[in-house]
Amino acid sequence: MNLAKALKKAPVQIVLMDRNNFHTFQPLLYQVATAGLEPDSIAGPLRKAFNGQANLIFRMVKVIGVDLENKKVNTKVGELGYDYLVIANGSVTNYFGKENFREKVLPLKRLVHSLDVRSHLLQLFEQAELVDDPVIYERMMNIVIVGGGPTGVEMAGSIAELKSHVLPNDYPHLDFSKMKIHLVEGTGRLLNGMSDAADKNAQNYLRMMGVELKLNTLVKDYKDRNVILDTENIPTESVIWAAGVKGRILSGVPDETVERSRIQVDEFNQVMGYPGAYAIGDVALMSNEDYPNGHPMLAPVAMQQGKKLAANIIKMMSGKQPEKFRYLDKGSMATIGRNRAVVDMPGGLHFKGLFAWLIWMFIHIMYLIGFRNRLITLNNWIWSYFTYDKGTRVIIRKFDFSSKFRSGERSEE
Amino acid sequence: MNLAKALKKAPVQIVLMDRNNFHTFQPLLYQVATAGLEPDSIAGPLRKAFNGQANLIFRMVKVIGVDLENKKVNTKVGELGYDYLVIANGSVTNYFGKENFREKVLPLKRLVHSLDVRSHLLQLFEQAELVDDPVIYERMMNIVIVGGGPTGVEMAGSIAELKSHVLPNDYPHLDFSKMKIHLVEGTGRLLNGMSDAADKNAQNYLRMMGVELKLNTLVKDYKDRNVILDTENIPTESVIWAAGVKGRILSGVPDETVERSRIQVDEFNQVMGYPGAYAIGDVALMSNEDYPNGHPMLAPVAMQQGKKLAANIIKMMSGKQPEKFRYLDKGSMATIGRNRAVVDMPGGLHFKGLFAWLIWMFIHIMYLIGFRNRLITLNNWIWSYFTYDKGTRVIIRKFDFSSKFRSGERSEE
């Protein structure tokens, strides 16, 4: 989106292809999943974003493959040639080889996933009201979150807040002292990529909120409704998979350009060995002296690469030399609950608590401006803050609970 | 909901059963269907509505049948005896015997329906951008709405506003002068049940907005993507079915009590011949001197019957005589577009235009208070009013367009 917008006045014809007609503000997926926000609040219609941009055509199509030799893109409705191709199709959930998990766990990468999680959790408690067997009840009340990155940490905090402020009012006959939220992380710390202070404070916050932290712990399997860890088994109906992502590699991307599930690009984002083809964002692996293992898979990297590539395309079209990409790290943050957040600023500055939480809130509301749903989001947050209530505990997407896990609409990656 | 709330302090044990965990504010379904409101804005979680009501248990279950002889309710998770049974399960779309329509047309009675319509319309225009054949294009650009009651009139007006203010910006390459909105009604007038002035003004408004009115016209069939009227054929992909509703008759309701797809009740809402069993709202057919053919199937009737029956149950439990139900008609209204509405007040008073539209707006916002989404709705409406824009043009529920019509999640009645 940043690339296409930056080319608004360039003498080019842009064809933007997406299988969805909207863009998702992924950092807030966890809020939809825990009934804090409506799904529409974090989804921005693409056509609206490009209203009035005469050099852009949007096509809601699924791209089947690319042919970098012959400079063609293949879609469900036909083929299209290109002068410049920009692959910006992001990442998918990484199951780290455990492909059998795909049908069993709940990922949290797309808007439909967040609706699946919301429906799953709410239906779980509806079902729990009908259960007599204490073994089944315990299993229903165990929620396991895999992955201690921002998504896992924010989900754990958000579910802990549901548990303390919302669920006991909605389900007065359920015993929520039996509800356990487990956060499982393979390494010895949370929020990898953030500072040690962020890790330490996030751990403290989560423990205060009753989340059971299991660091240095690997998930070996999930079978017979048991999460098999190397240390113990946890019976559960709910495994939320926030363990990581990997690049989404389109069919036709040459094998020799793919490294660790990302497309290798040079410092101008050009796909190695294929002039005219570029990749940006999560799917692109760009290494330099600062980032010898590639840049982090974060939205700011993608946005900055998009803007830089647009500028470079304009330069190249008028015969000028393109410039190398340099990532400007503006800091990172995660929120664990009301008044509880951690913020790393450039230069080693770290904030926590209410002040960090206010920074988080301000930045996210500013970023949502383009989504026009800013006011609605703000309403929801103000309401939640003062009432300790959440908004939208509505089960719209149903799936058969017993037949585990999802509806026929099971969302593909 | 009104009945259960009115029994809050009564010495009873209420079991509220619903297959959904939310209540839908049906008068605004058409706004969700035309991307004006988020679905969550018109859905209120039932558990939240009854937070703190100690004598009420909510069960999200599907009721399979009733046994009025032995005073039992049969659900998917077992049987429950009762002292008082209140059947308040409303109505379903009426296909008037054309059951083959069920898989072909788009009803608009439930929240999932409105999401289906929204996704259908948006995907239609996405597809139209890829179409070269003028015959197919014409078919895609014909929208047929069947039924000239409030739902049909409000849908027609709302789609006409999309056509003039929103779609041309989103789809600059489509020719919307070819888009035709047909409103088909079997009788000679619109808004049956409202005044002649309401009919006349609604007709004028719709014609001004470019809607093609086809009164005194019957739909004979919909086949090969053609709506067969008695006067002409209209090729179309989109038939929105707002032709009417009928009572939802539970399995086990004795045949002799069912008349014109509603359960016959006396003036105390008791099912004829079955003490302890009651029916209220759309599903109940109560006749008296004022309403010899039964009360209209409208929310105010249902709400008033619920309150009255609660009061009567309290009376009967303390040995007092129950009172007959009397419907207090507070008027009715429909909105056709911005600044355009018609309002009938009791006593023959009629309003139209901006004033009527403001009344409509005020009443609907007041009614949404209990839904807590009032502020959000108001935001959306203020935004739409000043920008001529709509909110949420997001396709979340997908279905395969070519395989006509819906996803596997096709919502049962």
CA–CA separation, A237 vs B378, rounded Å?
39
How far CA A160 is from CA of A9, A124, A151, A166, A218, in Å, comes to 48, 16, 14, 10, 22
Q: Could you read off the pLDDT of B239-257 as tens digits, one per residue?
A: 999 999 999 999 999 999 9
Q: Which candidate, A175, A181, A129, places its Cα nearest to that of A154?
A: A181
For the stretch B78-104, pLDDT in tens is 999 999 999 999 999 999 988 889 889
**Averaged pLDDT of chain A:** 90
Which of B154, B161, B185, B237 is labelled catalytic? B154
Taking the C-alpha atoms of residue A150 and residue A155, their distance in angstroms, rounded to an integer, is 8
The yes-or-no answer on residue A154 being catalytic is: yes
Q: Which residue has the tokens 């009417």?
A: B244
Quote the pLDDT of residue A347.
Answer: 86
Q: How far is it, in rounded angstroms, from Cα A168 to Cα A177?
A: 10
Digit-coded pLDDT (tens) for B177-191? 999 999 999 999 999
Q: In 10 A of CB B293, how many CB atoms?
A: 8
Return the structure tokens found at A312.
Answer: 């470079």
- Joined together, the tokens standing for residue B26 give 């049906």
Q: Which residues on chain A are in Cβ contact (under 8 Å) with B20?
A: 395
User: Which residue type does B405 have?
Assistant: F
Question: What's residue A399's pLDDT?
Answer: 45
CA distance B365 to B360: 9
Which burial class, exposed, middle or buried, applies to B224 when counting CB atoms under 10 A from its CB (0-12, 13-18, 19+)?
exposed
Whether the upstream peptide bond of residue A405 has omega within 30° of 0, thus cis, is yes
pLDDT band at residue B380 using 50, 70 and 90 as cut-offs = low
Residues A259 and B346: their CA atoms lie apart, in Å, by 74
Closest chain B residue to the Cα of A77, Cα to Cα: B130
pLDDT, residue A49, reads 87
The answer to whether B191 and B222 are in contact (CB under 8 A) is no
- Rounded average pLDDT over A322-350: 92
CA nearest to A75 within chain B: B130
> Residue A128 pLDDT > 70, yes or no?
yes
- CATH pick for A99-243+331-387 out of 3.30.420.40, 3.50.50.100, 3.90.180.10, 3.40.190.120: 3.50.50.100
Cβ–Cβ under 8 Å, residues A35 and B22? no
d(CA A181, CA B311): 45
In the predicted model, is pLDDT for residue B160 greater than 80?
yes
pLDDT of B398 above 60: no
Q: What is B2-19+61-93+246-317's CATH number, 3.20.20.70, 3.40.50.620, 3.50.50.60, 3.60.15.10?
A: 3.50.50.60
Residue in chain A nearest B55 by alpha carbon: A172
Put simply, the answer to whether B130 touches A77 (Cβ < 8 Å) is: yes
Amino acid identity, position B313: I
Every domain of chain A with CATH number 3.50.50.100 lies at 99-243+331-387
Residues 6+ apart with CB under 8 A from B135: B235
Percent of chain A with pLDDT over 90: 74
Assigned token pair, B313: 């149950």
Instruction: Report percent pLDDT > 70 for chain B.
Output: 89
Residues of chain A with CATH 3.50.50.60: 2-19+61-92+246-317
CATH top class, domain A2-19+61-92+246-317 = alpha beta
List the single residue in A22, A57, A171 with the smallest CB-CB distance to B394: A22
**Amino acid residing at A267:** E
Contact list in B for residue A396 (CB cut-off 8 A) is 39, 43, 111-112, 115
For residue B383, what pLDDT band results from cuts at 50, 70 and 90? low
